């Protein structure tokens, strides 16, 4: 991949290996996260869009409570809208009684109703600044094979060590303290760097970084996202890449948890398909992973979807990486997922019923609010 960065807020990288581990199964991820929590000596910071009062949430609540009772500083930041129908007062009361500091992000307020639209969509765990976890997995049973069975959601998450874990701790502290991220230049100390979409210097850092990736692609762009409602600039970047004969492939879910989002997503298909972008719908399960890999050598994984909310409204956090092992693994996982997906053929797409097109128009009109 080549090409200069198009925005000062996009990442730059250095040489050197970093401590990274990819997870695509919830049971393995949750076990590793719980083990990390159990080792905490000084502090634990956890942000989750969904923290459910179910078998998984209760395991985490007990683990957090045990460490808090042992004198570890434990802070839990839950999104008020994301967890509205998932958590319970009983679970919150249990956590507070066991010395866990619980904070709700943007609860509904009649005095400030507009702020309810902006959500904390980040999923971040930090333990002593030594270990950190970031990705698409929420704390709920839908991601566990042992609990939810073969219908479990397909997702991706990353464990971080070393300087990346220290950066994650800095990001958590800034957000907890209600400070905007202070770094201006996102220069990695190795092959990877964490990038939030909101800093003192740019409110669209993730959009800049994604579109910079697309503009520099020379061979391939492989995208996985559960919610694909791209702004026109992002669509244009993908179209231009396809017209440069870059192999652009997009993987989205056939089964989704928000029907209106699926309609809005499909409204963007015609323009992309007509330009040579190949679109696949994942069939077996709900797809919730958010990853991209370009030319097999530049990748990202995190909490951001390719939609208006992630790029312009919500708080998000992604890892951008040139780590060769991780990029290779992300690409292999993408190609493996394609084996369980169906490609949308443009000729068939153009013959879809007019009722579908009507629903797509309705979804597209609501795209900024999804």
Residue 264 backbone dihedrals phi, psi, to 5 degrees: -65, -40
* Segment among 68-72, 85-89, 117-121, 305-309 with least mean pLDDT: 85-89
Percentage of the residues of the chain whose pLDDT score is greater than 70: 90
Average pLDDT (180-201) is 72
Q: Which of 336, 342, 259 lies closest to 293, judged by CA?
A: 336
pLDDT at 90 (0 to 100): 95
Interior angle at CA 234, CA 231 and CA 239, nearest 5: 120
Average pLDDT (187-216) is 84
Residues catalogued as catalytic: 121, 123, 128, 288, 290, 295
Report whether 142 contacts 148 (CB < 8 A). Answer: yes
Report whether 266 contacts 356 (CB < 8 A). Answer: yes
Q: pLDDT tier at 59 (50, 70, 90 boundaries)?
A: very high
pLDDT at 141 (0 to 100): 97
Q: 0.85 exceeded by the pTM?
A: yes
Q: pLDDT tier at 204 (50, 70, 90 boundaries)?
A: confident
> Count of CB atoms within 10 A of residue 114's CB?
7
Report whether 100 contacts 121 (CB < 8 A). Answer: no
Q: pLDDT tier at 7 (50, 70, 90 boundaries)?
A: low
Q: Is the pLDDT of residue 199 over 80?
A: no
For tokens 């009983």, name the residue: 90
Q: Is the pLDDT of residue 2 over 50?
A: no
pLDDT at 370 (0 to 100): 58
CA atoms within 13 A on the CB side of 215: 15
What structural domains and CATH numbers belong to the chain? 20-176 (3.30.870.10), 192-369 (3.30.870.10)
pLDDT at 3 (0 to 100): 42
Q: Is the pLDDT of residue 1 over 50?
A: no
When the pLDDT of each residue in the chain is averaged and rounded to a whole number, the result is 90
pLDDT greater at residue 24 or residue 7: 24
Query: Reduced to 3 DSSP states, what percent helix, strand and coil does the chain have, rounded to the nearest 5?
Result: 40, 25, 35
Interior angle at CA 194, CA 190 and CA 197, nearest 5: 145
Q: Is the pLDDT of residue 201 over 90?
A: no
Q: Is the pLDDT of residue 259 over 80?
A: no
Contact partners, residue 195, CB within 8 Å, separation at least 6: 9, 11, 186, 205, 206, 209, 317, 318, 319, 320
Residue 365 backbone dihedrals phi, psi, to 5 degrees: -65, -30
pLDDT, tens digit (0-9, with 9 covering 90-100), for 317-360? 999 999 999 999 999 999 999 999 999 998 888 888 777 777 77
Give the 3-state secondary structure of 270-299: HHHHHCCCEEEEECCCCECCCEEEECCCEE
CA atoms of 324 and 146, how far apart (whole Å): 32
Q: Is the pLDDT of residue 304 over 50?
A: yes
**CA–CA distance from 194 to each of 124, 139, 186, 190 (Å)?**
11, 21, 8, 11
Q: Is the pLDDT of residue 264 over 60?
A: yes
Q: pLDDT tier at 367 (50, 70, 90 boundaries)?
A: low
pLDDT at 39 (0 to 100): 98
pLDDT at 257 (0 to 100): 62
Name the pairing type of β-strands 298-302 and 291-294: antiparallel
Residue 152 has what DSSP assignment?
A: P
* Segment among 94-108, 112-126, 254-268, 279-293 with least mean pLDDT: 254-268
Report whether 224 contacts 248 (CB < 8 A). Answer: no
Average pLDDT (56-62) is 98
Contact partners, residue 202, CB within 8 Å, separation at least 6: 7, 8, 9, 208
CA 54, 304, 292, 277 torsion-angle sign: positive
């Amino acid at each position: 991949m080549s090409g200069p960065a198009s925005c000062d807020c996009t990442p730059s990288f250095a040489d050197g290996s970093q401590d990274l581990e990819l997870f695509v199964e919830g049971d393995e991820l949750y076990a590793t996260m719980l083990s990390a929590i159990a080792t905490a000596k000084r502090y634990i910071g956890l942000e989750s869009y969904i923290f459910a009062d179910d078998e998984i949430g209760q395991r985490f609540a007990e683990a957090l409570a045990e460490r808090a009772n042992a004198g570890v500083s434990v802070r839990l930041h839950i999104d008020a809208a994301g967890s509205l129908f998932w958590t319970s007062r009983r679970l919150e009361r249990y956590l507070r009684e066991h010395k866990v500091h619980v904070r709700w992000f943007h609860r509904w307020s009649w005095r400030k109703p507009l702020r309810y639209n902006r959500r904390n969509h980040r999923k971040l765990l930090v333990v002593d600044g030594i270990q950190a976890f970031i990705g698409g997995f929420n704390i709920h049973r839908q991601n566990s094979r042992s609990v939810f069975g073969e219908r479990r959601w397909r997702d991706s998450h990353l464990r971080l060590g070393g300087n990346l874990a220290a950066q994650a701790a800095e990001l958590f502290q800034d957000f907890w303290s209600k400070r905007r991220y202070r770094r201006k230049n996102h220069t990695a100390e190795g092959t990877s760097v964490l990038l939030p979409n909101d800093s003192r210097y740019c409110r669209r850092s993730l959009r800049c970084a994604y579109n910079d990736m697309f503009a520099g692609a020379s061979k391939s762009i492989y995208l996985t996202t559960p919610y694909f409602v791209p702004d026109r600039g992002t669509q244009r970047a993908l179209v231009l890449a396809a017209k440069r004969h870059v192999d652009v492939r997009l993987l989205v879910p056939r089964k989704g948890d928000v029907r209106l989002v699926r309609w809005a997503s499909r409204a963007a298909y015609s323009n992309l398909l007509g330009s040579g972008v190949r679109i696949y719908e994942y069939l077996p399960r709900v797809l919730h992973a958010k990853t991209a890999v370009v030319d097999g050598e530049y990748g990202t994984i995190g909490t951001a979807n390719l939609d208006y909310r992630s790029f312009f409204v919500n708080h998000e956090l992604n890892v951008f990486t040139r780590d060769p092992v991780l990029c290779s693994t992300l690409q292999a996982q993408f190609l493996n997922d394609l084996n369980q997906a169906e490609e949308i053929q443009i000729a068939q797409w153009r013959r879809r019923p007019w009722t579908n097109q009507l629903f797509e128009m309705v979804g597209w009109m609501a795209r900024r609010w999804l």
